[in-house]
């Protein structure tokens, strides 16, 4: 059994001597088969996800550790849900300021779900949402942390993802992109007040982190230029990143943010964010940037987490393209690289290609 924690920690501390950690996310690939009651291909048939990672010899980015973060809400906040039909659920949050509700629909092909109706649709809903977030706090549970460690052990360094920042939360968690854009245009003062409440909420999240044993913290924002153009990033996201990083770096934490899809328009801001690394930037032929453009934007200041386009794990693309991109990203970023899939391997990916990349990484590390 490999001890991936030591290498994970050495890379984020800049002490790896050029070695690379292979840390692909394959849990969606695994869960989709579980959802379909489809056995894993031989020789992995019957394996748990932990056993699969062990058999492949690679590390997992273990966001299960978010289970160690407990949300504490004021007793005046009441949550409950009612099924509508086999696929849809109606959710309610009651507060002294009023009630908001949302409807989610489950997918028929996997465990995911999406909003049919968002929580916030108008200024009154926004005021209720502000009350909720103003009356939340966070607590670290060592007991829950230890439960996850019993499963994953030294497979990877435990990490958590931060609640989404300002406008990204508006788009992804509360209003949706279209309604969120209208809100920014039609009630900017209300949105600004909401973002102030959210910053205070996130400052409490940071205090929880500082009382925990976590070392590297992800900003799980799913930044994508089609919905977050540079002017919105600069106005709403960049100041929050700088604020968060100032606090987290003061307590010795390593930070990285999740940018996937198209990212070319905001890469010039990478060094200004204060981030130690950026996760999931998707290179061509899937995303809109080359690895060379990413390196030019990051320089020697910002590290890369992931870096291999997910589509290259499908047999649609020749394995030579996967080999070429893997070797190129290692050449460009070794020493500041936690190698992974940008973003995750699809359901149609070939699991043998995970082992293939691992062999390339092993040869590189042996030469360091």
Residues 180-189 pLDDT 10s: 999 999 999 9
Query: What is the structure's pLDDT at 2?
Result: 80
Average pLDDT over residues 93-122: 96
Kindly list the distances between the CA atom of residue 218 and the CA atoms of 245, 258, 348, in Å, as whole numbers in the listed order.
11, 7, 27
Kindly list the distances between the CA atom of residue 238 and the CA atoms of 180, 223, 270, 293, in Å, as whole numbers in the listed order.
18, 12, 9, 20
Q: What are the structural domains of the chain?
A: 4-72+137-367 (3.20.20.210), 75-134 (no CATH)
Closest CA to 80 of 66, 98, 100: 100
Query: What is the structure's pLDDT at 78?
Result: 98
pLDDT tops 80 at residue 36: yes
Cis peptide bond N-terminal to 343, omega within 30: yes
pLDDT tops 90 at residue 261: no
Confidence label for 1 from pLDDT (cuts 50, 70 and 90): low
Confidence label for 245 from pLDDT (cuts 50, 70 and 90): very high
Give the three-state DSSP class for 90.
Answer: strand
Phi, psi of 234 (to 5 degrees): -65, -35
Confidence label for 199 from pLDDT (cuts 50, 70 and 90): very high
Average pLDDT over residues 184-204: 97
pLDDT tops 80 at residue 368: yes
Q: What is the pTM of this model?
A: 0.96
Average pLDDT over residues 236-252: 97
pLDDT digits (tens, 9 = 90+) for 316-339: 999 999 999 999 999 999 999 999
pLDDT tops 70 at residue 76: yes
Query: What is the structure's pLDDT at 5?
Result: 96
Give the rounded percent of residues in the chain with a pLDDT score beyond 70: 100
pLDDT digits (tens, 9 = 90+) for 16-35: 999 999 999 999 999 999 99
Query: What is the structure's pLDDT at 115?
Result: 97
Question: What mean pLDDT is reported for the chain?
Answer: 96
Kindly list the distances between the CA atom of residue 201 and the CA atoms of 167, 197, 216, 234, 269, in Å, as whole numbers in the listed order.
15, 6, 20, 21, 25
Distance CA 365, CA 368 (A): 5
């Amino acid at each position: 059994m490999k001890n991936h924690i030591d290498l994970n920690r050495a890379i984020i501390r800049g002490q790896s001597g050029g070695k690379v950690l292979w840390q692909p996310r394959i849990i969606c690939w695994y869960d989709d088969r579980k959802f379909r009651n489809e056995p894993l291909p031989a020789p992995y048939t019957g394996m748990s996800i932990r056993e699969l990672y062990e058999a492949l010899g690679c590390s997992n980015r273990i966001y299960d550790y978010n289970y160690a973060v407990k949300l504490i809400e004021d007793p005046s906040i009441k949550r409950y849900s009612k099924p509508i039909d086999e696929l849809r659920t109606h959710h309610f949050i009651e507060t002294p300021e009023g009630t908001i509700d949302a409807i989610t629909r489950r997918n028929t092909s996997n465990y995911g779900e999406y909003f049919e109706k968002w929580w916030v649709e108008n200024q009154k809903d926004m005021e209720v949402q502000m009350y909720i977030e103003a009356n939340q706090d966070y607590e670290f549970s060592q007991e829950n942390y230890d439960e996850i460690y019993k499963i994953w052990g030294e497979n990877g360094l435990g990490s958590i993802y931060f609640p989404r920042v300002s406008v990204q939360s508006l788009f992804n968690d509360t209003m949706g992109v279209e309604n969120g854009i209208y809100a920014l245009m039609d009630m900017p003062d209300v949105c600004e007040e909401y973002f102030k409440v959210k910053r205070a909420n996130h400052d409490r999240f940071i205090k929880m982190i500082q009382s925990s044993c976590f070392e590297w913290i992800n900003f799980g924002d799913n930044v994508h230029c089609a919905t977050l153009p540079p002017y919105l990033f600069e106005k709403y996201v960049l100041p929050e990143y700088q604020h968060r990083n100032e606090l987290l770096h003061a307590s010795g934490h390593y930070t990285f943010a999740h940018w996937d899809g198209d990212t070319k328009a905001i890469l010039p801001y990478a060094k200004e964010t204060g981030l130690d690394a950026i996760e999931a930037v998707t290179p061509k032929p899937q995303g809109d940037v080359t690895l060379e453009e990413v390196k030019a934007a990051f320089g020697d200041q910002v590290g890369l987490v992931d870096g291999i386009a997910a589509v290259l794990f499908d047999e649609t693309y020749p394995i030579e393209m996967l080999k070429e991109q893997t070797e190129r990203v290692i050449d460009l970023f070794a020493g500041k690289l936690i190698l992974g899939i940008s973003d995750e391997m699809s359901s149609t990916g070939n699991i043998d290609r995970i082992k293939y990349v691992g062999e390339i990484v092993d040869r590189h590390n042996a030469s360091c």
